[in-house]
Structure 1
Amino acid sequence: MAKLPLLLPLQLPRNDFKENFMGMNVGSNNDDDVMLEVNMTPLIDVMLVLIIMFIITIPAPNNAININLPNGTPPPTNEKPSEIIDVRIDAAGKVFWNNQQVSDRKALETLFQGVVAKKDQDQIKLKPDQMAEYKNVAMVMATAQRLGVTKIGIVSSN
């Protein structure tokens, strides 16, 4: 019977051994000193998370300025408040100035001129009847505009 040769596992020299373990290269490259390389990415991620948590937990500064304001009352006004004049137009087309019927268009113009002559114009509230014709409402508004009335409003019945 022939003898078989004894096979031993292949052994590499220690200088060529290099192992990668969790991002760190452990081993040697023909040097006797140990070479370690640390992966910085997880460390930076943890630091950024800690910084963000720190910034979130810091209370926001209150920039309010405490000032003691003086107490007082405004000076009295010498001007009387402007009047409110009701101008009504009924279904028949008759115009009423503060519940008094205006006889014709010339009288209406005179009343509007009296309003314009004041320093502070009175407020005019135009209240047409629901059944009033539009031409009568337009005539009153056109007369007021032509004479320079600025404080006029239309009040609806609803």
Structure 2
Amino acid sequence: MGMSAGGNDGGVMSEINVTPLVDVMLVLLIIFMITAPLLTHKIKVEIPNANPKTETKKANNKPIDLAIKSDGSMYWNDRAVTKAELVAKLKVSASQSPQPELQIRADKALKVGDVKAVLKDAKDAGIVHTAFISTGKK
């Protein structure tokens, strides 16, 4: 609010000084005019359209169930395997198209390092899809 420099009543003026408001609005307008062209993407990419009517055909590949007991023994689809057999079976499974999912059921008392070793073997063999199976009970 401005103060009067003279006049009859010498009180406060009731007019609003809009000059600072106009200055701020012009500065904002200039900023937006400069930054708006920078927001457009320079590289054009053809993005595929999702078609919900086409369904991907599920392969008949069953997931691989790998159970690891607390003593370190491993079971490939409920059949006992050694570490060397596991690595060989993982390589064969990795070469299948489409690749089956490796589902690991590890015993609660098993050390984390043992599970990490199995995951490393699966990764080295080329297995892409891995999952952990657990119970929903607390």
Match 2:126 to one of 133, 148, 152: 148
Q: Where does structure 1 lack aligned partners over 5 or more consecutive residues?
A: 1-72
In the aligned structure 1, how far is the partner of 2:56 from the partner of 2:134?
Answer: 35
**Alignment partner, residue 130 of structure 1:** 108
RMSD: 2.1
Counting matched residue pairs gives: 84
Identity of counterpart residues, as a percentage? 18
Higher Rg of the two aligned structures: 1
More helix per residue: 1 or 2?
2
State the AA in 2 paired with 1:90.
K
Q: RCO higher in 1 or 2 (8 Å CA, sep ≥ 6)?
A: 2
Match 2:73 to one of 94, 107, 116: 94
Alignment of 1:46-125 (within 5 A): 80-103=59-82, 105-125=83-103
Distance apart, 1:91 and its partner CA: 1.0
Runs of 4+ in 1 over 2 A off after TM superposition: 73-77, 79-82
The TM-score normalised by the length of structure 2 is 0.54
Q: Where does structure 2 lack aligned partners over 5 or more consecutive residues?
A: 1-52
The TM-score normalised by the length of structure 1 is 0.48
Q: CA deviation digits over 1:32-59, x for unaligned, max 9?
A: xxxxxxxxxxxxxxxxxxxxxxxxxxxx
In the aligned structure 2, how far is the partner of 1:75 from the partner of 1:139?
Answer: 36
Distance apart, 1:80 and its partner CA: 3.2
